[in-house]
Amino acid sequence: MFSQRVREQWTEQLGRRLDILIAGCGGNGATLDVDQCDPRIVGVDEDLPPLRARTAAREDLESWSLGDLRLVPIPPRSFDVVYVCFLLERVRNAELILDRLVDALRPGGLLLLRMRDRGSAYGFCDRMTPEWLRRMLWRRLCPPGSVGPLPAVYEPVTSRAGIQAYCLKRGLMIAEDYSAMSGPARRGPHAGLVGFVCRAVSALTNGRLNGAEDEIAMVIRRPQNHFARII
């Protein structure tokens, strides 16, 4: 779905080469099928060993920067598309980082967002499980090749209500909003057991925590601002 939206953005630009920023480029799912658009793709992520190894192995990135995402170079109004892939739930100061990523968009640009939902049973278990236990369970529960375990922070913005409030304050338009089930442990060798635990947690909270879907995916557009273009 995201790749199709990027291709539509490319068509709207009358074939001009797109500039794409992938935030969370070292994690799972951080690729787009947009080769026919011949875009310039830049990546940023935290500087953690598994993320560095995955990023260094990528061949589609023209350049990349790893480090504190409050400080890594992200030029404002430089990208047509910013793809934020399973990043916000694992970083601190998530709203500040999101501000920097939105500022990197040109007027009319697309913010493609995928994140683990704080309001899901899976997200609840992820953030409440002690770090030592997460490390021990990772290889047993997750498919081979999954990048992790990564930090589980889940600040308030990493929820549907959190993103909706953020977009309202920043004047951003949510064009599409989807839910999905994509947690690594939900696709691993013990997916049935993990699903049972998530349903049990949901039942114990009277359905307040979603026991089925654990991912939020949104297509968000930065409105055109002709006055800002002149500046």
Task: Walk along the chain (231 residues) and give the pLDDT tens digit of each residue.
Answer: 888 888 888 888 776 889 999 999 998 887 888 887 888 999 999 999 999 999 999 988 999 999 999 999 899 999 999 999 999 999 999 999 999 999 999 999 999 999 999 999 999 999 999 999 999 999 899 998 888 899 999 999 999 999 999 999 999 999 999 999 999 999 999 999 999 999 999 999 999 999 999 999 999 999 986 444 433
Q: Any idea what DSSP says for residue 16?
A: P
Structure tokens at 146: 């999954």
Q: CA-to-CA distance for 98 and 225, rounded, in angstroms?
A: 19
- Check residue 229 and give its pLDDT: 42
pLDDT of residue 225: 65
Q: Given strand 105-116, what is the order of strands in its sheet?
A: 63-66, 40-45, 19-23, 79-85, 105-116, 215-221, 173-180
**pTM of the model as a whole:** 0.92
Residue 212 identity: A
List residues bridging with 19 in a β-sheet: 40
Task: Say which CATH class 2-116+153-181+215-230 falls into.
Answer: alpha beta
**According to the model, what pLDDT value does residue 42 have?**
94
Give the model's pLDDT for residue 9: 86
Task: Give residue 29's pLDDT.
Answer: 82
With beta carbons less than 8 A apart as the criterion, state whether 99 and 121 touch: no
